[in-house]
Chains A and B, each alone.
Chain A
Amino acid sequence: MSAFTAVYWKEVRENLRDRRTLINALLTGPLLGPVLFITMMNLMVTRELAKADRPISVPVIGAEYAPHLMGALRSAGIDAQPGLPDPENAVREQRTDVVVRISPDYPKAWSQGQSVQVDLIYDSSRRDASTPIARVRNVVESYGRREGAMRLIARGLSPTTAWPVQVAERDQATSQARSGLMFAFLPYFFILTVFMGGMYLAIDLTAGERERQSLEPLFVNPVARWRILAGKLAAICTFSLVSLLLSVCAFATAPWFIPTEKIGIALDLGVHFGAQVVVIMLPLILLMASLQSLVSAFARSYREAQTYMSILMLVPILPSVLLSVMPVRAEPWMYAVPLLGQNLGIAQLLRGDGMPAWQVTTCLAGGFAAALVAMFGAAMMYRSERLAISG
């Protein structure tokens, strides 16, 4: 048995006996993403659906001045409630989503054929209120357009006189692409799974061994340290790969738990999608394992390594955050950047656009190049005299 295989099997066997590592690599890591995802999607869908259909009640100040407008609101399922004394505060304090205010000179202006003003009082920073606000605004605006058209007709003019330009929306997003927008954070789940799957192993195999003082006897064996490191990296990669495979399988079941047809999106997380995700994630598995080992080699104890890991864990979030804050057009070079490339790639796969071969190749080349650098760094750390000395 070669030293590499000896190290590999020993680490795999030893860690299969560790409940904490197992739970993290095989349960928490792979399932956290899908469970969170399914729960969030369900919450979102049910809430949106409920708001779109449900009759809502909106406080209206001065309802008596505009009975026809009230009729239009009522027919759209919006019940006018008696007005509030201080509508601005009511909205600010979230006692109501939106308040309609009609000024007392409404009837006079209306009867003279002048333009009238209807105030909508709302807080645009409250995202959960956006549906009721949009509904009220829509009803008021379409009522205004309808009345305007009636006035023109009454004067013998065609309504098109007032609206020479008509906007006709032709949304080119496929239903899968629409779902892609909602799933912008999905790539991060996969990356996190890879990170979590190998993390405890990486800590245990370097910082843990150091803390338990077993590195010193280990390094006395007639085996070059880089071979020992290679065996350990292989064990870490195995665990994070298994973690990723489990996660992909769990995600494949997600469409059964999300009422996708109700929101008119298609969700294909099947074998084809999963296989491509695994392929473009391969370099990340090696990169993460090497980075984690490198970082653990700096730490004197398990606990110290955990602290460093929680900082390192923030790194994979960066591309996801950047992409959501400032959505950029994907340039070819971006696929070569580890993490960013995977983010773009998985987002594309989700949208159903697929990844051309050159993108996959760039993604793999960039990722493996970075992984090699990290491996080299870890090997350098392993060569240091300091590493083996525990006392």
Chain B
Amino acid sequence: MIEVQDLHKAFGDVRAVNGVSFTARDGEITGLLGPNGAGKTTTLRMLYTLMKPDAGRVIVDGNDAYADALAVRRRLGVLPDARGLYKRLTAAENIDYFGRLHGMPEALLASRREALIDALDMRDIAGRRTEGFSQGQRVKTAIARAMVHDPRNVLLDEPTNGLDVMATRAMRRFMFQLREEGRCVLFSSHIMQEVAALCDRIVVIAHGRVVADETPAELLVQTGESTLEDAFVKIIGTDEGLAA
């Protein structure tokens, strides 16, 4: 479970995140929705301890992200906005590297790696160097790498960005599987359909603030709109920066 309490982060004069609070529960998929530049990536970066908030707290499974960053990182599986694979290593070697950084014993690492390679249907690319991988192959490898230590909480920054239809569907199936396993899944997106198809709970961020934190059904009721897209536009008060 991830609890976010009143996060603030400014870069110079720009208040990128200005009082964000929400909770992502275990066994649920929580969508962080917002137009481009709303502060989604910055919020996620503070969740996975890459950035220090100016104010506010992040609690992951009861651990404070800044008092005990290493403990929090052990409980998180993160797919950052920057996928950043090592192109001179094979997909499997990329996965192994992160497993070793988590201090996993080799036997456990091997079984976990093979399980992920099967779950993500990437057997055919596992032994290939990642240079020249397609966007979908890159995301798969990056996700396997992020999940190798079997984290309870999963943060995915725009996981379907740049994926084709088939890859997007595969990604959705994988996220449902993570939910079935009782994990806490938090992902960011600016794509409406995706959020509608996946989320148990939607947190809408605009201008660095949370403007809604509801289930999709409640969101429709609250705004009196018939589609999520209209609801979204109504909530953020503008259709600027919205990609349908």
The answer to whether A and B belong to the same complex is yes
Q: A223 contacts which chain B residues (CB < 8 A)?
A: 70, 101
Q: Which residue of B lies closest to A5 (CB)?
A: B100
CA distance in complex: A254, B121 (Å): 57
Q: A10 contacts which chain B residues (CB < 8 A)?
A: 86, 89, 93, 97, 100
Within the complex, the shortest CB–CB distance from A4 to chain B, in Å, comes to 10
Taking CB atoms and an 8 Å cut-off, the chain B residues in 133-162 that contact chain A are 142, 145-146
**Is the beta-carbon distance between A216 and B80 smaller than 8 angstroms?**
yes
**Is the beta-carbon distance between A214 and B82 smaller than 8 angstroms?**
yes
Q: A221 contacts which chain B residues (CB < 8 A)?
A: 73, 98, 101-102
Interface size on B, residues (CB 8 A): 34
Asked whether A329 is an interface residue with its Cβ less than 8 Å from the other chain, the reply is no
Number of A-B contacts (CB under 8 A): 88
**Is the beta-carbon distance between B98 and A216 smaller than 8 angstroms?**
no
Report B83-101 CB contacts with A as 1/0, cut-off 8 Å.
1111111000100011011
**Is the beta-carbon distance between B89 and A13 smaller than 8 angstroms?**
yes
**Is the beta-carbon distance between B50 and A220 smaller than 8 angstroms?**
yes
Asked whether A390 is an interface residue with its Cβ less than 8 Å from the other chain, the reply is yes
**Is the beta-carbon distance between A17 and B88 smaller than 8 angstroms?**
yes
Q: A215 contacts which chain B residues (CB < 8 A)?
A: 84
**Is the beta-carbon distance between A2 and B103 smaller than 8 angstroms?**
yes
**Is the beta-carbon distance between A18 and B88 smaller than 8 angstroms?**
yes
CA distance in complex: A387, B52 (Å): 13
Q: Which residue of A lies closest to B78 (CB)?
A: A220
**Is the beta-carbon distance between B70 and A222 smaller than 8 angstroms?**
yes
Report B101-136 CB contacts with A as 1/0, cut-off 8 Å.
111001000000000000000000000000000000
**Is the beta-carbon distance between A217 and B78 smaller than 8 angstroms?**
yes
Within the complex, the shortest CB–CB distance from B48 to chain A, in Å, comes to 5
Taking CB atoms and an 8 Å cut-off, the chain A residues in 212-247 that contact chain B are 212-224
CA distance in complex: A6, B99 (Å): 9
Interface residue from B80, B89, B93 paired with A220 (Cβ < 8 Å):
B80
**Is the beta-carbon distance between A14 and B89 smaller than 8 angstroms?**
yes
CA distance in complex: A222, B73 (Å): 5
CA distance in complex: A214, B80 (Å): 10
Q: Which residue of B lies closest to A215 (CB)?
A: B84
Asked whether A7 is an interface residue with its Cβ less than 8 Å from the other chain, the reply is yes
Asked whether A385 is an interface residue with its Cβ less than 8 Å from the other chain, the reply is yes
Q: B106 contacts which chain A residues (CB < 8 A)?
A: 1
- Given contacts A220-B73, A389-B50, whether A213 and B82 have CB atoms under 8 Å apart is yes
Within the complex, the shortest CB–CB distance from A218 to chain B, in Å, comes to 7
CA distance in complex: A218, B74 (Å): 13
Q: Which residue of B lies closest to A231 (CB)?
A: B101
Q: Which B residues are within 8 Å of any A CB, using their own CB? A: 41, 45, 48-52, 70-71, 73-74, 76, 78, 80-89, 93, 97-98, 100-103, 106, 142, 145-146
User: Beyond A6-B100, A216-B80, A389-B50: 7 further Cβ-contacts under 8 Å?
Assistant: A1-B100, A5-B100, A10-B86, A14-B86, A212-B87, A218-B101, A221-B101
30 A–B contacts from the bound complex (CB under 8 Å): A1-B103, A2-B103, A6-B97, A6-B100, A7-B101, A13-B89, A14-B86, A14-B88, A15-B88, A212-B84, A213-B84, A214-B82, A214-B86, A215-B84, A216-B84, A217-B145, A219-B50, A220-B48, A220-B49, A220-B76, A220-B78, A220-B146, A221-B101, A222-B101, A222-B102, A223-B101, A224-B70, A385-B50, A389-B51, A391-B82
